[in-house]
Amino acid sequence: MFTRTARWFFLLFVFFFMACLVTLALHSQAGAVGVFEAQSDVGSVTPAGTGSWDAAKGIYTLTGAGENLWSTVDGFHFVWKKVEGDVALTADVSFPEVAGAHNEHRKAVLMLRQTLDADGVYADAAVHGSGLTALQYRRARGATTQDIELNIELPKTVRLEKRGSEITMFLSMKGEPLHQVGATIPMRFDGPFYVGIGVCSHNKNVVEKAVFSRLELKPPAPIGAGAKLAVYSTLQTIGIEDSFRRALVPLTGKGQFEAPNWSRDGGSLLFTKDGKLTRIPAEGGATKPVDLGAERCTGSHGFSTDGKWLAASCAMPGSQDVRVYIVPAEGGTPRTVTANPGSYFHSWSPDGKTILFSRFKDGALNFYAISAEGGEERAMTTGTGVSDDPDYSPDGKYIYFNSDRAGGTMQIWRMKADGTEPEQVTHDEWNNWTPHPSPDGKSIVILSYDGSVKGHPGNTPIALRILTPEDGKIRTLVNLVGGNGTINVNSWAPDSKHLAFVSFQTLPEE
């Protein structure tokens, strides 16, 4: 006979054993499926999802419900394998039923996932029923999902690739070789992680089906010592609301894009490419050069508050000297503003009467104010270090800038518009550059390097962070590979809810 205590221990053991069996069943609903080890419903999925492998046809068919694969918690069916190191997962992706009664937001995904928890860290290449394709990711457990979206037709082939601490999505639209599409993020997975395919119906009461064919799971091809590498640039726009940080890609391609401005009507973006100022619709489309008659324009340009004028730092034909010029917003004959060469535009005053620009002098970088009509310049900062990237607050009361005047790291400062009463705004371990206030004055975007990074290099891991002037709090908006060229000038949309920026990738040349 068991004593009462022994019976309690026995019952607890049975309960614990059964709980383990239930957990194992939930996390491994079946054995191997093709190249994958097992399958699971992640989060709340009813009825349970399924995954099957047709070896003769080389097809994986998944079914699943699930409310969403987004926000802070996921619900989807996942067929997976546990791996370590670098990996590339490639497949043709399709939905066998024609959209109509089916949700256009249903998702078929190639995924890397740290754990099988519903709020786990992950990155995926998600193909939606509508054709929208995105690189989605959650950087920390329970954090809000972010993404980089491509509003395109349904691609034929998708690849999700992990190389070191970078995750990249590649696409083939109609069978052409896979190519980069501007969707790369810096992201780390600790130790073993899961790689696999999944489906989410985006409606917890509906079961959807996705098909994956010609699937390959293998390490990415090594980049040979003699491989020709190229820099690819991606122009993105992103919503800054913490619960809805979607990024869209108006343009990506080989070469160096820099310094986007948003037009005052919100309809287009202006950026620099190959020394030329170029305009593109904010949602993407055909690019159009802005003619200034210049041979070399830098990433220093911006529209006046009323949107009628464009200031830019360029070199004119036959000269290497960069000065600030003003032209009508659509282009035209330039008018010289600064007499001294090496002048780099940064900001218009809200009333359109004054321009701020920076210039190296005697080994130091400081900034100056000058009338938009030209004339005498006035030094706003002096010193032996760097005080740069000035931008007016929308009410015209303050000028925000970055400076190393306090010693140590680069930090954000502000002064009154007349140059008096400078005060330090940020006091952290980052090197903080390029402060740009939003049109409503409620947010300031700053570009932040790790404290060990010196100067203002490009093609480097950075964070774009949002500073709230009201309380001084700072939050990270997005992590990316960028730096010089990412947000050199004010790139806020007129609604103060969206921001434009440029990210960079170094990849084998296509």
DSSP string, 151-215: --SPPSEEEEEEETTEEEEEEESSSSPPEEEEEEEE----SSEEEEEEEE-SSTT--EEEEEEEE
Is the predicted pLDDT of residue 11 greater than 50, yes or no? no
**For range 191-207, the mean pLDDT:** 95
How do residues 355-398 score in pLDDT, each as one tens digit? 999 999 999 999 999 999 999 999 999 989 999 999 999 999 99
- Delineate the domains of the chain, giving CATH numbers in brackets: 25-218 (2.60.120.200), 235-508 (2.120.10.30)
Is pLDDT of 223 > 90?
no
Per-residue pLDDT at 283 exceeds 90? yes
Q: Give the pLDDT of residue 328.
A: 95
Residue-wise pLDDT for 391-450, tens only, equals 999 999 999 999 999 988 999 999 999 999 999 999 999 999 999 999 999 999 999 999
What pLDDT does residue 14 have? Answer: 41
- Average pLDDT on 221-246 reads 87
- The confidence score (pLDDT) of residue 12 equals 46
Region 328-351: what's the mean pLDDT? Answer: 96
pLDDT > 70 in the chain, percent: 93
Whether the predicted pLDDT of 57 surpasses 70 = yes
pLDDT of residue 407: 87
Q: What is the pTM of this model?
A: 0.89
Rounded mean pLDDT of 293-316? 95
Over range 121-143, report the average pLDDT. Answer: 95
DSSP H or E stretch at residue 13: helix 4-27
**Contacts of 456 by beta carbon, 8 Å cutoff, 6+ apart:** 433, 483, 484
- Quote the pLDDT of residue 17: 41
Weakest-pLDDT range from 22-26, 281-285, 433-437: 22-26
Q: Compare 12 and 413 and report the one with higher pLDDT.
A: 413
Q: How far apart are CA 60 and CA 49, in angstroms?
A: 13
pLDDT in tens, 100-127: 456 789 999 999 999 999 999 999 999 9
Average pLDDT of the chain is 92
Q: Which of 216-225, 327-336, 399-408 has the lowest mean pLDDT?
A: 216-225
Q: How far apart are CA 42 and CA 412, in angstroms?
A: 43
30 pLDDT band (50/70/90 cuts)? low
Give the C-alpha separation, 370 to 348, whole Å: 10
CA angle 69, 170, 267 (to 5 degrees): 75
pLDDT at 146: 95
> Which pLDDT band, with edges at 50, 70 and 90, does 155 fall under?
very high
**Rounded CA separation 158/88 (Å):** 10
Q: Give the tens place of pLDDT for each residue, 202-219.
A: 999 999 999 999 999 999
Contact 116, 102 (CB under 8 A): no
- pLDDT higher than 90, residue 13: no
* Confidence at residue 1, expressed as pLDDT on a 0 to 100 scale: 45
Question: What is the predicted pLDDT for the residue at 104?
Answer: 86
Q: pLDDT-derived band of residue 486, with 50, 70 and 90 as boundaries?
A: very high
Give pLDDT, residue 226. 76
CB 347, CB 390: distance < 8 Å: yes
Looking at residue 508, its pLDDT comes to 81
